[in-house]
Amino acid sequence: MEKLKINAERCKGCELCIPFCPKQILFLSDTLNSKGYRTIAVKSQDECNSCQTCAIMCPDVVFEVWRNSGGK
């Protein structure tokens, strides 16, 4: 299940989110968006704890974070 969605087209690769991720699962990828910026990517959706720190730190509103609300 996807917990973290990254809108690569909005990302400017500022890397503000990377040091604040408590699970250290974010990294600057080699992928370029249409504006020529390297974008943030996630190493493992399973390791994400949906803390939303990345979304709070991001000045460009790149992240959407979901929590599993069910018992499964």
Residue 71 located in a structural domain:
no
Per-residue pLDDT tens digits of the chain, which is 72 residues long? 789 999 999 999 999 999 999 999 999 999 999 999 999 999 999 999 999 999 999 999 999 999 875 544
Given this model, what pLDDT does residue 68 score? Answer: 73
Given this model, what pLDDT does residue 27 score? Answer: 98
Full DSSP string of 10-43: T-----SSGGG-TT--EEEEEEE-TTS-EEEEES
Residue 27 located in a structural domain:
yes
**Exposed/middle/buried for 61, CB within 10 Å: 0-12, 13-18, 19+?**
exposed
Residue 11 located in a structural domain:
yes
Does the predicted model carry a pTM greater than 0.95?
A: no
Given this model, what pLDDT does residue 69 score? Answer: 59
Domain with residue 27: its CATH number is 3.30.70.20
